[in-house]
Structure formats: structure tokens, C-alpha cells
């Protein structure tokens, strides 16, 4: 991650940038295994199920909060009950939402999809900076235009990220479910664009109102040190506040932690806090990084 330590003003896309100052460290992202995989029903606390049967005792994971729940317990709160097969079908289509809160949050997130919000005007090139929220799961959109650019930006910034048989960065950007093993569905890309170019981008996951994750964030190499990075983070924070999200977490390289705390107001979690956070929330975490947070409550 790169950051304009001088807080320099935004100069515009395509202008000559100062790529000579400051150390350029190729950053590495290696996925860490999730801490817990609780399979007890969120509603009744019971983990009993009939494995292999599609019936009312089946446990299904909510496609928003990812909490497990029995079909029967989910139906308790509904006037119009759903049969297990219908619930399973919704889950496969990433539309199974366990409660009203999850439905509301999904609606809020999807509301912004494909909209271009003009957030600043660049005088030198007479062009707007746009905020966009994109989902790789949305196939009928501009996604095809922006996603390859976002993948390139991340691959350039996290050049040492190599996984032997997979392409983690592309899978996350495209929100793919990789063989049921690594399920990146529900990840969104937040991006700043200038004309048709992505200048800065982040992978954002908002599971519940309790906590959102900034999984990756980077700025296009030739656009660094122009203030786009801070503008992107500020725009993300603004939108999270509007969605009533209380906390943002981000896995950060230890050497970048001072910048995140001094310039962006994040605080680092202690080892103990990180452990309990990862137990409570199945966050995406990378090896050898520290976890930082910022509260909006």
C-alpha cells in the first residue's frame, strides 16, 4: 500500500508522478485459514442436522451474515414458510438471507451497484473522479471493463502474492466460489475512476452491521502520491457510515501501521484482541499481517 505522507493534493490521472521517492516493497498476501467454523444454528444454538438430507433440519449458511441456521428455525420467523429445497436453491443463487437485518443490508449494498457517484473534479484534465461499487457477481454491467484493471492494480501492488494452483487476487475481485473451498462470494470492489480508468481500488466485504473488512487496497502505480488512496478510504468510510456499519477492519503490513494510525485514525488490535475478533467474525486474514480497526459507532 502506498500513501502520500505529505497529504499532497490530487493532481490528476496521467500526470507525471514521483515514483522515485520512498521504498517500493513488493507486498505479499497469503491467505490464513479461518479460526473457527461454527456450525451451530444461530437461532436455536443446536448443531444437530441430518447430513445429506434436504429437509427442515438442514443447516444452511446465510449469504449475507454467513451464520448457519436450520431451515425450520429460519421458517419460525416467517409467515410464508419455505420448503428446504427452495431455501437450498436460494443459497445456491446467493440469495438466502436469514433475517430482516440481512435483507436490509444486502439491499443497501446493492443499491449503489453500477452507479457512478461524482465525488471530485480534476481541473488539470477536466474530468470527474467517480466512486463506484462493483460486484463480480453482477454479470450484466460495467464490471467487465473495470475488473481486469482492478486485478492488474492489485497484482502490481502485491506482486509477491503467488498461490501455486490458484489466482487468489482475481478470485476475490471476481467474488468467486472456488470449488466450495474458498468462497469469496459477497466481496465487493470499491473503486475510484477517472474517465475510463480505475485509479484506486479496494476489496470490501460487509457481512453485518457489526463489522466490515477492507481486504485489499491499492492505487495504480502511476497514480500514487496524488491523494487518491486517502480519498478512497474516506469514501469507503462515508459509505459504511451511511450503511450503519459500526466497525471497519483491515489486515495491514506491520511497517504500514504507523501511517494507518496517524493519517487514517486506525488502531492496531493486540494479539489477544485479534484472536477474539477472528473467533467472533470469520474475517479474511493474511499471514504475517496485523489487524487494524476503526470504529464509527
Closest distance to Zn ion from the beta carbon of 102 (Å): 3
Q: Binding segment for Zn ion among 36-44, 147-155, 173-181, 265-273 (CB under 5 A)? A: 36-44
Q: Tell which one of 11, 41, 130, 192 touches Zn ion (CB under 5 A).
A: 41
Interaction of residue 107 with Zn ion, rule CB under 5 A: no
Cβ 31 vs Cβ 58: under 8 Å:
no
Cβ 161 vs Cβ 168: under 8 Å:
yes
Interaction of residue 109 with Zn ion, rule CB under 5 A: no
Output 4 or 64, the one with its CB closest to Zn ion.
Answer: 64
Nearest 5°: phi and psi at 188? Answer: -115, 155
Interaction of residue 64 with Zn ion, rule CB under 5 A: yes
Output 100 or 179, the one with its CB closest to Zn ion.
Answer: 100
Q: Bridge-partner residues for 129, per DSSP?
A: 120, 194
Interaction of residue 207 with Zn ion, rule CB under 5 A: no
Interaction of residue 248 with Zn ion, rule CB under 5 A: no
Query: Measuring CA to CA, which residue among 84, 106, 108 is closest to residue 97?
Result: 106
Q: Bridge-partner residues for 209, per DSSP?
A: none
Give the C-alpha separation, 258 to 264, whole Å: 9
Can you list the pairs that 139-145 forms with residues at least 24 positions away whose Cβ atoms lie under 8 Å? 141/113, 141/114, 142/114, 145/196
Interaction of residue 62 with Zn ion, rule CB under 5 A: yes
Closest distance to Zn ion from the beta carbon of 55 (Å): 13
Closest distance to Zn ion from the beta carbon of 23 (Å): 43
Interface contacts to Zn ion, rule CB under 5 A: 41, 43-44, 62, 64-65, 70, 73, 98, 102
Amino acid at each position: 500500500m502506498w500513501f502520500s505522507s505529505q497529504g499532497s493534493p490530487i493532481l490528476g490521472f496521467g500526470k507525471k508522478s514521483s515514483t522515485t521517492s520512498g521504498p517500493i516493497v513488493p507486498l505479499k498476501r497469503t491467505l490464513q485459514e479461518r479460526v473457527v467454523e461454527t456450525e451451530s444454528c444461530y437461532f436455536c444454538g443446536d448443531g444437530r442436522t441430518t447430513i445429506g438430507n434436504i429437509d427442515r433440519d438442514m443447516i444452511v449458511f446465510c449469504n449475507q451474515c454467513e451464520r448457519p441456521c436450520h431451515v425450520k428455525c429460519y421458517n419460525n420467523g416467517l409467515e410464508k414458510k419455505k420448503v428446504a429445497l427452495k431455501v437450498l436453491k436460494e443459497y445456491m443463487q446467493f440469495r438466502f438471507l436469514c433475517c430482516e437485518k440481512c435483507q436490509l443490508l444486502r439491499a443497501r449494498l446493492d443499491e449503489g451497484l453500477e452507479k457512478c457517484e461524482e465525488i471530485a473534479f480534476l481541473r488539470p484534465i477536466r474530468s470527474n473522479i467517480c466512486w463506484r461499487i462493483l460486484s463480480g457477481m453482477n454479470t450484466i454491467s460495467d464490471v467487465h471493463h473495470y475488473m481486469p484493471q482492478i486485478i492488474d492494480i492489485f497484482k502490481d501492488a502485491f506482486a509477491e502474492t503467488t498461490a501455486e494452483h490458484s489466482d487468489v487476487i482475481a478470485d476475490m475481485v471476481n467474488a468467486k466460489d472456488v470449488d466450495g473451498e474458498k468462497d469469496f462470494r459477497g466481496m465487493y470492489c470499491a473503486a475510484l475512476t477517472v474517465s475510463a480508468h480505475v485509479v484506486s481500488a479496494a476489496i470490501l466485504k460487509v457481512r453485518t452491521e457489526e463489522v466490515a473488512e477492507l481486504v485489499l487496497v491499492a492505487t495504480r502505480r502511476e497514480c500514487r502520491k496524488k491523494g487518491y488512496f486517502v480519498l478512497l478510504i474516506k469514501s469507503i468510510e462515508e459509505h459504511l457510515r451511511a450503511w450503519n456499519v459500526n466497525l471497519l477492519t483491515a489486515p495491514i503490513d506491520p511497517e504500514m501501521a504507523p501511517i494507518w494510525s496517524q493519517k487514517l485514525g486506525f488502531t492496531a488490535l493486540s494479539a489477544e484482541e485479534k484472536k477474539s475478533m477472528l473467533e467472533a467474525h470469520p474475517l479474511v486474514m493474511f499471514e504475517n499481517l496485523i489487524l487494524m480497526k476503526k470504529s464509527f459507532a
